[in-house]
A and B are shown apart, each in its own frame.
Chain A
Amino acid sequence: MSTLHLVNKSPFETGTLSSCLKHCKAGDAVLLIEDGVYGAIDGSSISGEVKATVGDVALFVLDGDLSARGIDAGKMVNGTKSIGYDGFVDLVAEHDRTMSWL
């Protein structure tokens, strides 16, 4: 039993990503979409918190949102996986529930 968490807000504007990470359980996945993709940038003020969770929890970013914002995939926290809409659908199907952190 696992949960797919969706985050669509910049972590520098809201505490949404931080709250999401605090409620993740091992085996869960976090998918960053829209402005949420900024949360995967390594070396940021929140990347420590992200890295502390990633491992037990899988981290994904939507590649279209990433490239739209000019963020190089190489700047992502280690272990971040970049996926497309097809991968998004797979994640939804693989997990028991989806939780949107609005």
Chain B
Amino acid sequence: MSDTKKFLYVNRKAPYGTIYALESLEVVLIGAAFEQDVALAFLDDGVFQLTKGQKTDGIGVKNFSPTFRALGDYDVNKFYVEKESLEERGLTEDDLQDITYEDENDDWAEKPSIRIVTRAEMADIMADQDVVLSF
């Protein structure tokens, strides 16, 4: 499949203060239909999108965080989360949702989608893409 391209969706904004995070997720879902090699990057305030226990009743906005857990069913299972961005914000991997996918090449074993990477590794990941979409 030589026409498959590597797409990286870069998320650098917190979830509810602006519409960027929700719009990114919408585009990821649309893009998933085109069978491309899709990965998501979360850095800077973007790491706040993945916290567990989000409850939005009090602000009258849809809680879209559960949608991240559905992306595995669309073959979107590479969630690169930057370690330094977590640390700067007082977060650890334990503060994030458990997001998993079933690996069809490994008897449908359940595997974690979130991969914690260093800032240097994130730069390498960005440099390895055909297309970068920023939100």
Contacts and interface: CB of A to CB of B under 8 A. Distances in A.
Contact of A24 (B13, B123, B132): B123
Interface string A59-90: 00000000000000000000000000000000
Given A3-B127, A19-B43, 19 more contacts: A2-B127, A15-B44, A16-B12, A19-B12, A19-B44, A22-B119, A22-B123, A23-B43, A23-B122, A25-B123, A25-B124, A28-B127, A97-B129, A97-B130, A97-B132, A99-B126, A99-B132, A101-B12, A102-B20
Contacts of A22: 119, 123
B44 A100 contact: no
What class of interface size applies to chain A in its complex with B? 10 to 19
DSSP class of B's interface residues: helix, strand, loop or mixed?
A: mixed
Contacts of B127: 1-3, 25, 28
